[in-house]
Structure 1
Amino acid sequence: MATQPLTASPVASSVKSTIVRSKPRSQPFLRPTFRILDRLAPTLAARLAQRLFFTPPRAVLREEEREILDAGRRGTIEHRGDRLAIWRWGEGPRALLVHGWGGHAGQMTALVEPLVAAGYEVVALDLPGHGLSSGDRASVRHFADAIVHVAQGLGGIDALIAHSLGSAGSTLALSRGLVVRRAVYFAPPARFDAIWARFRGGLGMSAATWTRFQRRAEAWLGLAFAEMAPADLAPDLRVPLLVIHGTGDREVAVQEGELLQRRWPQARLHRAEGLGHLRVLKDATCIDAARRFLSTSKR
């Protein structure tokens, strides 16, 4: 693993310019164009859908997030031809922070100070195709592979804290043998049905093109969609889990977190009344619930 310390000004400007650059632009002609392709060239439509679905947007890095990243020890880990950006703070058992789809390590930084104070070495990463990491396409399977690889590169991790689709990648990683003592998921999906429906509806995709898309995507992933659903993987997992989910979440409904908690043998649920998809990551009560859960019987 190659590491390099963060310095205040050049790295800060590099981080900011890299992440702020590409909030996705609206594409008003995409749906009508796609529907024409869907009708006249369904194979081409399926190919376009695959590229659209697995290309993550780049999210904005906020100033307060950048400042916390600047205070960390920045490094990179090589993974299958990609360079994964990581940051580290503190010393002790390792807690790995995993952001969600279209996110970045900065979104997890409100957890850094409380976990360092609790005696953890905190590690955050930019997943493939996100933030400062290389690549332009990603998936739950890519997330899982990266999480396992980073954990191995660090010499193991004690705790796993993930958000949204990063939780799905973490669940797949755990199902493949990743060992952690405890896990915390913020706003996790239990199944992908709502994601598929939103994607199909946004493009106006026909059932026939959906079938082509699914066949192409599963061949590219080397994994069936049905093999990645967290709710279906959960019954075989024995890692104690805390699910933190906001009742005001418009991206991943709180019912998803409730379902995952029911299916996971050693899981409990913390309902964050009124909070949305990202606000749960900044809320002091939610962060304290995560800290207290992870500090129970800490190694």
Structure 2
Amino acid sequence: MPRQSSNRLEVQVVTQAVSSSSPAASAGPAPVAKAPGNRPAALPAWQRLRWQAGSLVSPSATARALERLWFTPPRAAPTSAARRFLDSARSDWALVTGQGPSRRVRVYRWGDAGPVVLLAHGWGGHAGQWHAVADSLVAAGMRVVAFDALSHGASDAGTRGAAQTSVLEMSRSLLAAAWHAGPVHAVVAHSLGGAATALALREGLPARAAVLVGAPADMHAACAALAWQLGIAPAVLARMQRHSERWLGMPWSAFNVPEIGRSRPVPPTLVIHDRGDKEVRWEDGAAIAGAWPGAELVTTEGLGHRRILQDAAVIGRIADFVRPREAGTEMAPAAALAVN
């Protein structure tokens, strides 16, 4: 169940007046071995010296090491609440095709009637993290579908093995789950799942609404920030990115979430971000909301990057946003939606 909270939600209707250039470019380094788009964190001097030395002595090997680090998600063991939640689901498989043999994505479903809301977890996450949100959406009369992306949870390994994956592969997992369970009315995504959702929308996912919670804005800038933190030379970073572009099949510039909203039609979108998020900067959410036409930005205080998915006020705001509107009705103005 969602946790009760008196945290203030500040709701803003964001227009193009908010800068949508990548905030991560000036945000400093990202922590090591966590999700792309992170805030900077302290790095022991000896680790930085090792990366600096490798960058000078063996740039090719250092580029390969950086590539492994960047594309290796952390592992999150499900909590007892998450396990109970997944055990209560009807589960089956969707298939991701292309780039070799078909691979299975585990899909979970709750609810028997109503529009389908697809839930997309973040980097290193799993479908069980959505238990509080899903319970409220089902209670509000919606069907809920969640999935484990490739190389996450119970799904098959991705094309680079069980230890590695990418936001592109997460997006393909999302599309597979959507086509399998659709038609999808709305997508609710957390963290890197937000970037995966943006890529899926660019590929034609026909969602009528989207909610991005704690989403990073620009993978290229976030990776550059990580390299800066490690002391890796720009030439080594460029080598790593050129190599990964070959197997990704697209340039790193394609992973800019604000740019997707500027260049492609996107559905009405709610962006929710905590001011004190220690993993993805609040400015990333503001940049996305500023670039996506008509998007709303909801700013929370004191919920961080993960507890935000357990907060009753946030969950209520999500349910209200994705609930289908009757013909001729409009969403309430921002001032009326502020929650104290």
TM class by smaller structure:
0.7 to 0.9
The DSSP-based 3-state class of the residue aligned with 1:122 is strand
The DSSP-based 3-state class of the residue aligned with 1:297 is coil
Report whether the alignment pairs 1:246 with 2:267. no
Comparing 109-118 and 200-209, the one that deviates more: 200-209
- TM-score normalised over the length of structure 1: 0.86
Task: Report matched runs for 1:36-75 at 5 Å.
Answer: 36-75=53-92
The DSSP-based 3-state class of the residue aligned with 1:158 is strand
Q: How many residues align?
A: 275
Would the alpha carbon gap of residues 126 and 31 (structure 1) be closer, same or farther in structure 2, given more than 3 Å must change? farther
Supply the AA of the counterpart residue of 2:103. Answer: D
In the aligned structure 1, how far is the partner of 2:76 from the partner of 2:151? 11
Task: Using the TM superposition, give the Cα deviation of residue 32 of structure 1 relative to its aligned residue in structure 2, in angstroms.
Answer: 4.8
Aligned to 1:270: 298
In the aligned structure 1, how far is the partner of 2:176 from the partner of 2:107? 12
CA RMSD of aligned residues (A): 2.2
Segments of 4+ moved more than 4 angstroms: 27-33
Aligned to 2:130: 108
Task: Report matched runs for 1:44-193 at 5 Å.
Answer: 44-80=61-97, 81-91=102-112, 92-135=114-157, 136=162, 137-192=164-219
In the aligned structure 2, how far is the partner of 1:283 from the partner of 1:255? 21
Unpaired segments ≥5 residues, structure 2: 1-32, 35-42, 328-340
Spell out, residue by residue over 1:25-61, the C-alpha distance to the aligned partner (whole angstroms, 9 max, x if none). Answer: xx98865544443222211221222122111111121
Supply the AA of the counterpart residue of 1:210. Answer: L
The DSSP-based 3-state class of the residue aligned with 2:104 is strand
CA contact (8 A) 2:224 2:237 kept: no
- TM-score normalised over the length of structure 2: 0.76
Task: Using the TM superposition, give the Cα deviation of residue 75 of structure 1 relative to its aligned residue in structure 2, in angstroms.
Answer: 1.7
In the aligned structure 2, how far is the partner of 1:100 from the partner of 1:298? 32
Would the alpha carbon gap of residues 277 and 40 (structure 1) be closer, same or farther in structure 2, given more than 3 Å must change? same
1:290 to 295, 300, 318: 318
Spell out, residue by residue over 1:258-285, the C-alpha distance to the aligned partner (whole angstroms, 9 max, x if none). Answer: 1111111121111112220011111100
In the aligned structure 2, how far is the partner of 1:248 from the partner of 1:30? 27
Report whether the alignment pairs 1:255 with 2:283. yes
The DSSP-based 3-state class of the residue aligned with 1:183 is strand
CA contact (8 A) 1:31 1:203 kept: yes
In the aligned structure 1, how far is the partner of 2:83 from the partner of 2:207? 28
Unpaired segments ≥5 residues, structure 1: 1-22
In the aligned structure 2, how far is the partner of 1:89 from the partner of 1:271? 29
In the aligned structure 2, how far is the partner of 1:49 from the partner of 1:82? 26
Task: Using the TM superposition, give the Cα deviation of residue 95 of structure 1 relative to its aligned residue in structure 2, in angstroms.
Answer: 0.8
In the aligned structure 2, how far is the partner of 1:64 from the partner of 1:214? 39
CA contact (8 A) 2:220 2:253 kept: no
CA contact (8 A) 1:238 1:266 kept: no
Q: Which has the higher helix share?
A: 1
In the aligned structure 2, how far is the partner of 1:76 from the partner of 1:182? 24
